């Protein structure tokens, strides 16, 4: 569940009046997601010459944890940049003063809120090859469309952060999750850190394109959402992240047809260089390590009575082993 803050009807209406989106018709809290409070809003629609005048839907997000407010302009203006270039991402609705988000909100003045466009579609749980092909193509379009995005943000979930999280969990903590995990981290993390590529093309990446961050209708991508890990880093690493997230089943069994389709779809829009392709097995291992480490930390630090169930770090840890043993899958 992810509505951490209660907003009463009057308060919500006053908030919505700051935007040219008409008046509030309904507001429903959204259960999915763990980082922020999200509401699905329906309004009567904007009344200006640009407005539809008809019903309109939006997502209202209150930023609760994990997000540095200083990063919000990067995330939200990236949405506008990509949407303007035709990528299926939600536009940010600016307030009447033209601001990207509402800051200093709430009784303590410490909250920020943004309104973004609602996009149709559902997240798939068992991706097919056709869906993976479409996602690969949209990811490549995103990389091309972001090439002239002027802002830059370092990857806060890069190699140094995997090392920090591993140290914070400790060998004993990792072994408590699974003795195999402690062994994998001890042997693989130093190797990945020592061999992490420094000479691959970099640009804006989504960095977390799991199926729950993609909205689809059939084989069509209708929305790429949750850009709150977006940053500037190795472009092919983004494909590796997406590969880890899409190309294995729930038992961590590799899905060769889905993998081939994801890469084919990507390359139908942006060809990988020989160097990028050769790096994919290592980038896949790194991507798997990134999610193993963030999940391990969450596993050890989520209170037992929390409303969210932490995700299992062993899934990505096993996928790391698969990439190491099967570099030929990307050949
Ligand atoms: N633009 C949008 N259009 C339609 N639905 C959306 C949109 N943005 C978010 N949602 C819905 O809200 C849910 C939560 O959004 P999101 O993943 O951004 O939240 P979060 O708290 O940041 O999640 P996470 O736990 O993945 O960090 C999504 O699963 C989706 O159902
Ligand atoms: N998508 C991530 C959560 C956000 O880092 C995971 O599946 O672990």
Q: Which domains does the chain possess?
A: 9-117 (3.30.200.20), 129-330 (3.90.1200.10)
| Residue 141 to residue 87: CA distance in whole angstroms | 7
Per DSSP bridges, beta strands 56-63 and 111-117 are antiparallel
Instruction: Report residue 157 CA to chain centroid gap.
Output: 12
Task: Report pLDDT digits (tens) over 7-29.
Answer: 888 999 999 999 999 999 999 99
3-class DSSP state of 219? coil
Averaged pLDDT for residues 128-134? 98
pLDDT beyond 50 at 1 = no
Starting from the CA of residue 214, give the closest ligand: 1
Starting from the CA of residue 227, give the closest ligand: 1
Task: Report pLDDT digits (tens) over 27-58.
Answer: 999 877 667 889 999 999 876 555 455 679 99
Q: What is the pLDDT of residue 2?
A: 60
- DSSP state letter for 90: P
Burial degree of 41 (CB within 10 A; 0-12, 13-18, 19+): buried
Q: Which atom of ligand 2 is nearest to the CA of 295?
A: 8
Q: Which atom of ligand 2 is nearest to the CA of 298?
A: 8
Residue 295, ligand 2, Cβ within 6 A: yes
CA-nearest of 308, 300, 293 to 65 is 308
Residue 18, ligand 2, Cβ within 6 A: no
The confidence band for 328, taking pLDDT boundaries of 50, 70 and 90, is very high
| Residue 233 to residue 252: CA distance in whole angstroms | 26
pTM of the predicted model as reported, rounded to 2 decimal places: 0.95
Residue 210, ligand 2, Cβ within 6 A: yes
Mutation pick for ligand 2 pocket among 156, 210, 293 (CB with most ligand atoms within 8 Å): 210
What are the angstrom distances between the C-alpha of 59 and each of 63, 120, 199?
12, 11, 39
Task: Report pLDDT digits (tens) over 220-258.
Answer: 999 999 999 999 999 999 999 999 999 999 999 999 999
Phi/psi of residue 55, nearest 5 degrees:
-65, 145
Averaged pLDDT for residues 112-138? 97
Mutation pick for ligand 1 pocket among 3, 28, 32 (CB with most ligand atoms within 8 Å): 32
Q: Which atom of ligand 1 is nearest to the CA of 37?
A: 21
Residue 254, ligand 2, Cβ within 6 A: no
Nearest C-alpha to atom 2 of ligand 1 is from which residue? 118
Task: Report pLDDT digits (tens) over 262-278.
Answer: 999 999 999 999 999 99
């Amino acid at each position: 569940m992810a509505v951490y803050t209660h907003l009463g009807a009057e308060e919500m209406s006053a908030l919505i009046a700051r935007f040219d989106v008409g008046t509030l018709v309904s507001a429903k809290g959204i259960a999915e997601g763990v980082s922020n409070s999200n509401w699905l809003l329906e309004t009567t629609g904007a009344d200006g010459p640009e407005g539809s005048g008809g019903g309109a839907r939006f997502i209202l997000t209150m930023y609760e944890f994990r997000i540095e407010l200083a990063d919000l302009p990067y995330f939200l203006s990236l949405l506008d940049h990509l949407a303007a270039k035709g990528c299926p991402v939600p536009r940010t609705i600016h307030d009447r003063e033209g601001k990207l988000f509402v800051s200093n909100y709430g009784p303590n003045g410490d909250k920020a809120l943004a309104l973004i466009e609602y996009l149709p579609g559902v997240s798939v749980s068992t991706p097919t090859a056709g869906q993976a092909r479409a996602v690969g193509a949209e990811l490549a379009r995103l990389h091309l469309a972001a090439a002239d995005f002027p802002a830059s943000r370092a990857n806060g979930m890069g190699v140094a952060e995997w090392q920090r999280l591993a140290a914070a969990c400790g060998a004993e903590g990792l072994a408590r999750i699974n003795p195999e995990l402690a062994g994998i981290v001890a042997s693989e993390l130093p190797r990945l850190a020592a061999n992490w590529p420094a000479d691959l093309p970099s640009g804006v990446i989504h960095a977390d394109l799991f199926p729950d961050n993609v909205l689809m209708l059939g084989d069509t991508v209708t929305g790429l959402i949750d850009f709150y890990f977006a940053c500037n880093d190795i472009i092919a690493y983004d494909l590796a992240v997406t590969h880890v997230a899409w190309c294995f089943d729930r038992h961590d069994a590799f899905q060769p047809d889905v993998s081939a389709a994801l890469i084919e779809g990507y390359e139908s829009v942006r060809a990988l260089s020989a160097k990028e392709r050769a790096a994919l097995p290592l980038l896949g291992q790194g991507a798997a390590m990134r999610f193993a480490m963030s999940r391990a930390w969450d596993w050890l630090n989520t209170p037992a009575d929390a409303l969210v169930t932490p995700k299992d770090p062993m899934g990505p840890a096993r996928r790391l082993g698969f990439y190491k043993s099967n570099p030929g899958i990307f050949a």
